[in-house]
């Protein structure tokens, strides 16, 4: 006896290991998967117990005691811990940080699963107070009183309140003193179990959809299916049937969607057809809402979970299926901190639980298509639009041959006119927000640049500002050139300028701009989209935001104003990405009774890309790109990891990457190519110098073995302290 009782704990610190603690009388029975409070340096941190052990490498004198058990029962199941470990080892990321990403913030902070929270509720005196009168004297108090009143009889917990009104407590004091609100403690109520009703029946599936459904139903257990169906082919109808099967079996279903794809429209459609209120998980939830949703998924009460990428970590004891919609969408990959692909984790998880994974897209990634070729995944094709709708006709406008002003060619303008006159709606797509991408001196050619980034400032004419889209810096528009004093002019087009041009050309038409500037306010995007869906806007102008998940029944024309940025990209994914974004936005055009039209403006009409896209569609571009990638050995014919470094001094960033290069080089692996270090595409961002080292290998195992050693090597490298660095496995933004 007398061997020590050790707890292995994942602590939220950037170090790739678990930490050992001595279990005491009070912490001996702490469950694996539960949280424990532990000393760490001079702090006390919340960790999750991953294992009980009897041995440790830590000398007895240095072994510290766990302080307190926070959960009597495991918060995370064996499966949850497996997924966390898998994520940590595949992405070479510290396990404690993976745990932190998987837990709702309140649990990460050590709050109970059923926390008691301070609440504020309105009193009778508060109810009878005239808020407008109060607002004249004390606007903050009025705002708070209104918020509390709107929360109803049970009041509002102060966590949620703090997110709505960060400085509420100053206004709270006088309201409490006057007895207009009261303060009390209450347990955070559980989510009411989503009541199930019979869903409304949908359309009868067509032959292609039936075949897709039969193929998937036919097989039990895990398979990854790529549902490759053109926009409007009825992929969602296929998901709906599969989800219905799973719910009828009393199992849980997880639907992952891209950030912009999680629309009220989708949620309403799921609810209508399945008769179950979806439990929604996305980044805009308050901490309390997130905890509630997580908790009801974990208990099995929530049957249908719809969420953006981090929802892939949600505990789901009775999982029966995972659907990943728009699997090609880059927002399914987290681009900072823990850089995981929610799609790839979804597949791993489905395999672990032996349930099907459905990856849907009109423009599947080459990675997914290649998995279909090798037989890892099963491809199912829906080649045609469902129902009577026909595919849109695509036409190029050669910008070198037609007149255009403010980026709008006469051809496109005339098409807008005829479509709108005929009662249709037009969507004009430009993936550049702001008024103009550059402010340039008409005399000397000097352009306004960001002081902290290697980039130009974007003109925001409405606000009278120059803004940097990389670091958020903003300043007043220059009146005159800082070099020669001549006049500065906006060069190029952004969505605001395009909106102005459309307004002057079509003064009597209703025009809505939808981009991240126009939709800053809460609810603004839903309101704008609702207008668009109801056909109340004649012309929509917008960015990528408009290209996903929305269905505009009146839309018959899509205009793509400037598609050329993607034609000459240095990234090996440039043509894949360009084709995806064009096909996705083009897919919004057309409806049952009227064929849609797509007009693409380009200054390079002779580029073979266009002919391939118009004649062969995405399939042709994808097939060509796969052949090219096979010849050049880019993914999916090799695997990549990108080591990034950023520092105030350029030499610090390079020194760390040179160290990494030497470490990897010393392993002398034939199958491993080391490229760099080189400057990152935006070599200076927000005052930091950025560089990168690319590792490429045709042998995935060799790459991962190398990374397993590289990570601790860099963690222990003293010069790394001056550098922000990361390892990005399967990076999707390279150059």
Query: Which residues in this chain contact ligand ADP in the complex, by CB under 6 A?
Result: 203-206, 209, 229, 231-237, 386-387
> Using CA atoms in the order 726, 729, 733, 735, what is the torsion angle rounded to 10 degrees?
70
CB 562 within 8 A of CB 412: no
Report what 460 binds from Zn ion, ligand ADP, none; CB cut-off 5-8 Å by kind: none
DSSP structure class, residue 246: H
Q: Give the residue with the Cβ less far from ligand ADP, 229 or 320.
A: 229
Looking only at Cα atoms, what is the longest distance across the chain?
A: 89
- Judged by CB under 5 A, the stretch of 223-231, 258-266, 349-357, 471-479 that binds Zn ion is 471-479
Q: Is 456 in the site for Zn ion (CB under 5 A)?
A: no
CB 175 within 8 A of CB 134: no
Q: Are strands 181-187 and 116-122 parallel, antiparallel or unpaired?
A: antiparallel
| 432 SS3 class | coil
- Judged by CB under 5 A, the stretch of 18-26, 62-70, 362-370, 464-472 that binds Zn ion is 464-472
Q: Give the residue with the Cβ less far from Zn ion, 108 or 452.
A: 452
Report what 452 binds from Zn ion, ligand ADP, none; CB cut-off 5-8 Å by kind: Zn ion
Beta carbon of residue 273, minimum distance to ligand ADP (angstroms, whole number): 10
Q: What angle do CA 317, 327, 364 make, to 5 degrees?
A: 140
Q: Binding Zn ion by CB under 5 A: which of 213, 453, 683, 734?
A: 453
Q: HSE (CB half, 13 Å, CA atoms) of 24?
A: 11
Report what 450 binds from Zn ion, ligand ADP, none; CB cut-off 5-8 Å by kind: Zn ion
Report what 104 binds from Zn ion, ligand ADP, none; CB cut-off 5-8 Å by kind: none
CB 409 within 8 A of CB 395: no
255 φ/ψ angles, rounded to the nearest 5 degrees: -120, 115
> CA–CA separation, 136 vs 167, rounded Å?
19
35 φ/ψ angles, rounded to the nearest 5 degrees: -100, 155
> CA–CA separation, 539 vs 524, rounded Å?
17
Q: Give the residue with the Cβ less far from Zn ion, 390 or 452.
A: 452
Report what 470 binds from Zn ion, ligand ADP, none; CB cut-off 5-8 Å by kind: Zn ion
Helix, strand, coil percentages for the chain (3-state, nearest 5): 35, 25, 40
Q: Give the residue with the Cβ less far from ligand ADP, 203 or 569.
A: 203
CB-CB neighbours of 250 under 10 Å: 11
CB 549 within 8 A of CB 260: yes
Name the token pair of 730.
């399967």
DSSP structure class, residue 378: E
- Judged by CB under 5 A, the stretch of 19-27, 32-40, 64-72, 447-455 that binds Zn ion is 447-455
CB 544 within 8 A of CB 580: no
Beta strands in 520-671 (DSSP E): 539-542, 555-560, 597-602, 639-647
Q: Give the residue with the Cβ less far from ligand ADP, 324 or 441.
A: 324
> CA–CA separation, 343 vs 261, rounded Å?
15
Q: Is 614 in the site for Zn ion (CB under 5 A)?
A: no
Q: Give the residue with the Cβ less far from ligand ADP, 132 or 204.
A: 204
Size of the site for Zn ion (CB under 5 A): 7
Q: Binding Zn ion by CB under 5 A: which of 240, 468, 481, 539?
A: 468
Name the token pair of 240.
């709906």
> CA–CA separation, 228 vs 460, rounded Å?
39
Q: Give the residue with the Cβ less far from ligand ADP, 171 or 389.
A: 389
Burial category of 325 from C-beta neighbours within 10 Å (exposed 0-12, middle 13-18, buried 19 and up): buried
Give the contact letters, 473-492, x = binds to Zn ion (CB under 5 A), - = no. Answer: x-------------------
Beta carbon of residue 449, minimum distance to Zn ion (angstroms, whole number): 9
Beta carbon of residue 240, minimum distance to ligand ADP (angstroms, whole number): 8
- Judged by CB under 5 A, the stretch of 140-148, 383-391, 461-469, 623-631 that binds Zn ion is 461-469
CB-CB neighbours of 197 under 10 Å: 10
Q: Give the residue with the Cβ less far from ligand ADP, 201 or 523.
A: 201
Q: Binding Zn ion by CB under 5 A: which of 151, 262, 408, 471?
A: 471
Q: Is 470 in the site for Zn ion (CB under 5 A)?
A: yes
Q: Give the residue with the Cβ less far from Zn ion, 465 or 595.
A: 465
Report what 236 binds from ligand ADP, Zn ion, none; CB cut-off 5-8 Å by kind: ligand ADP
Beta carbon of residue 343, minimum distance to ligand ADP (angstroms, whole number): 17
Q: Give the residue with the Cβ less far from ligand ADP, 381 or 682.
A: 381
Q: Is 452 in the site for Zn ion (CB under 5 A)?
A: yes
Q: Give the residue with the Cβ less far from ligand ADP, 229 or 542.
A: 229
Name the token pair of 209.
């959809």
Report what 209 binds from Zn ion, ligand ADP, none; CB cut-off 5-8 Å by kind: ligand ADP
Q: Give me the residues that bind Zn ion (CB under 5 A), please.
A: 450, 452-453, 468, 470-471, 473
């Amino acid at each position: 006896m007398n061997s020590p009782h050790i707890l292995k704990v994942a602590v939220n610190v950037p170090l790739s290991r678990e930490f050992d603690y001595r279990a005491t009388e009070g912490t001996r029975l702490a469950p694996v998967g539960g949280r424990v409070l532990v000393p760490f340096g001079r702090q006390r941190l919340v960790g999750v117990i991953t294992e009980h052990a009897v041995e440790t490498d830590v000398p007895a004198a240095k072994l510290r005691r766990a302080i307190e058990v926070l959960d009597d029962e495991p918060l995370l199941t064996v499966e949850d811990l497996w997924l966390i470990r898998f994520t940590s080892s595949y992405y070479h990321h510290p396990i404690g940080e993976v745990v932190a990403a998987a837990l709702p913030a309140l649990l990460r902070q050590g709050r109970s699963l059923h926390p008691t929270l301070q609440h504020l509720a309105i009193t009778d005196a508060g109810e009878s107070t005239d808020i407008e009168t109060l607002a004249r004297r004390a606007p903050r108090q009025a705002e708070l009183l209104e918020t509390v009143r709107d929360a109803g009889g049970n009041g509002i917990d102060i966590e949620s309140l703090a997110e709505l009104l960060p400085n509420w407590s100053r206004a709270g004091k006088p309201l409490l003193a006057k007895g207009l609100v009261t303060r009390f403690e209450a347990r955070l109520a559980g989510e009411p179990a989503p009541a199930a009703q019979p869903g409304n029946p949908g359309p009868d599936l067509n032959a292609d959809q039936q075949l897709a459904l039969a193929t998937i139903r036919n097989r039990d257990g895990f398979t990854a299916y790529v549902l490759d169906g053109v926009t409007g082919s009825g992929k969602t109808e296929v998901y709906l049937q599969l989800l219905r099967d799973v719910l009828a079996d009393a199992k849980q279903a997880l639907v992952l969607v891209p950030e912009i794809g999680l629309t009220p429209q989708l949620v309403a459609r799921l609810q209508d057809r399945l008769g179950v209120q979806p439990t929604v998980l996305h980044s805009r939830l308050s901490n309390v809402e997130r905890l509630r949703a997580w908790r009801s998924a974990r208990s099995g009460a929530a049957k249908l979970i719809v969420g953006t990428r981090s929802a892939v970590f949600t505990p789901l004891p009775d999982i029966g299926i995972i659907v990943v919609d728009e699997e090609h969408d880059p927002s399914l990959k987290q681009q900072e901190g823990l850089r995981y692909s929610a799609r790839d984790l979804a597949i791993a998880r489905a395999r672990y639980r032996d349930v099907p994974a459905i990856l849907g897209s009109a423009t599947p990634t080459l990675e997914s298509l290649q998995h279909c070729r090798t037989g890892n995944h099963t491809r199912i094709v829906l080649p045609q639009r469902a129902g009577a709708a026909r595919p849109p006709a695509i036409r190029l406008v050669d910008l070198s041959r037609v007149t255009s002003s403010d980026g709008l060619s006469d051809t496109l303008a005339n098409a807008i006119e005829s479509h709108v006159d005929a009662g249709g709606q037009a969507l004009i797509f430009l993936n550049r927000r702001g008024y103009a991408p550059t402010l340039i001196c008409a005399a000397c050619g000097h352009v306004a640049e960001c002081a902290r980034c290697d980039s130009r400032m974007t003109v925001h004419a409405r606000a009278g500002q120059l803004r940097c889209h990389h670091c958020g810096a903003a300043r007043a528009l220059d009146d005159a050139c800082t070099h020669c004093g001549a006049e500065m002019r906006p060069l190029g087009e952004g969505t605001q300028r395009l909106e102005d041009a459309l307004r002057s050309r079509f003064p009597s038409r209703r025009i809505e701009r939808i981009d991240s500037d126009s939709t800053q306010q809460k609810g603004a995007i839903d309101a704008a989209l609702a207008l668009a869906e109801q056909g109340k806007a004649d012309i929509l102008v917008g960015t990528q935001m408009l290209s996903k998940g929305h269905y505009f029944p009146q839309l018959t024309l899509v205009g793509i104003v400037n598609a050329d940025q993607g034609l000459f990209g240095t990234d090996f994914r440039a043509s894949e990405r360009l084709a995806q974004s064009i096909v996705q936005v083009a897919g919004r055009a057309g409806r049952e009774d009227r064929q849609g039209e797509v007009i693409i403006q380009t200054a390079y009409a002779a580029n073979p890309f266009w002919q391939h896209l118009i004649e062969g569609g995405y399939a042709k571009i994808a097939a060509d790109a796969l052949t090219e990638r096979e010849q050049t050995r880019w993914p999916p014919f090799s695997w990549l990891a990108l080591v990034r470094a950023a520092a105030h001094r350029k030499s610090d960033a390079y020194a760390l990457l040179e160290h990494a290069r030497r470490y990897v080089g010393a392993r002398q692996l034939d199958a491993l190519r080391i490229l760099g270090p080189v400057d990152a595409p935006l070599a200076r961002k927000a005052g930091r110098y950025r560089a990168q080292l690319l590792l490429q290998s045709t042998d995935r195992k060799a790459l991962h073995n190398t990374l397993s050693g590289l990570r601790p090597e860099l963690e222990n490298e003293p010069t790394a302290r001056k550098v922000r660095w990361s390892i990005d496995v399967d990076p999707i933004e390279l150059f």
